[in-house]
Each structure stands twice: as C-alpha cells, then as structure tokens.
Amino acid sequence: MSAKLVGGAVAALVVLALASGCTSAEVDSIAAPTSAATSKPEVLAATPSPSLVESSERDLVPEGQYNLGGTFFAPLVDSGPIDGARGTTTVSSDGELASYTVAANDEFEKILARFGIDAQVLINLNAVRRVNIFYLYTGDILNLDPHTITTVGTENGKFANDPLPDPHPEQR
C-alpha cells in the first residue's frame, strides 16, 4: 500500500471519528493501518478430516436414508389403498415395507402417490429385476426395500437379472 493511500485511509478514519463525537485525544490513539508488505494473511493448512477421506460412499448417506443409484430416500411409508393403487404390501422382519403386489387397474402414478415417492426411487428399487417399470401387470411384485433389489420383483410373472445400481445398500 503506498504512503499516499495509507495517509488517505488515516485521514478518513479521523473524519469518521470526529463525526461520531470522538475528541482529538481519542483520534490520536487510532492506529494507522499496516501496509500489505508488513502484514500477511494467515494461511491455514488444508488438512482433510480422516473420517471424510476414509469414508465409503455408504457412510456419506444421511442418517436414516438410503443411496440407491445416486437417489437418496428414507424408508417408504404406505398411506394405504387409494383409487389406482389398491394392491397389497408385505413388510420385512425389521418392519419396513418389502414389496407391493399390483392389483387390477393400478396405475404407476397412483402407486407413487400411495408411497409418497418420486418415480426415480421406484425405478431404482426395481431396475435389476424388471425390464420396464412403467408396464404394470396384475400380480406383478414391485420391490420396496433397497436391501432386496436382487431378490424381489417380477414383471408379468418373470424377472430380469440386470446389473446392480451403483451405489447400493448391502443385499440380504
């Protein structure tokens, strides 16, 4: 910082101090700013947290949620049968929804509404065992549990064996 600029900054401080009611004795005690050449900003060393560096993708999922194919979601909740989603559900031993059996006249959008989820969640839960999640046949089983994507789900009485999404929870 040049001496002219430092002097101007000090003069501005004096004017501000006097305008705010400071006495000349108080103004004399105001310290002049230091020049950039003598004051260096403190540089903090970038030390990554070991817990973040060593964490796996699974550890970075918000507590109580699942990461399946890059889609985060909490355990599903069944709001009960509605028009267009009158199928039945099963519950796993841990009390979470496991599957949904499609009833006659069920509609994809209505099933999403029943469970309060967006399409990508249902697609990711069923991508391994179904060829087309949008085609629903009476009796189809839709997987609702991220831990059983390799073992639960049918489409028109058959199932596919497509690759697992990445990432995915541990399978049972």
Burial 135-155 (b: 16+ CB within 10 A, else e): ebeeebbbbbbbbbbeebbbb
**Same domain, residue pair 70 and 147:** yes
Domain holding 144, by residue range, is 65-172
- CA angle 153/158/159 to nearest 5° reads 50
**Same domain, residue pair 72 and 122:** yes
**Same domain, residue pair 81 and 31:** no
Q: For tokens 């509609």, name the residue.
A: 107
Within-domain flag for 49:
no
pLDDT digits (tens, 9 = 90+) for 60-89: 678 889 999 988 999 999 999 999 999 999
**Same domain, residue pair 23 and 90:** no
Task: Write out the two tokens for 105.
Answer: 């006249």
Backbone angles phi, psi at 141, to 5 degrees: -110, 120
Selection from 111, 105, 162 nearest residue 132 by Cα: 162
The pLDDT of residue 62 is: 84
pTM over 0.85: no
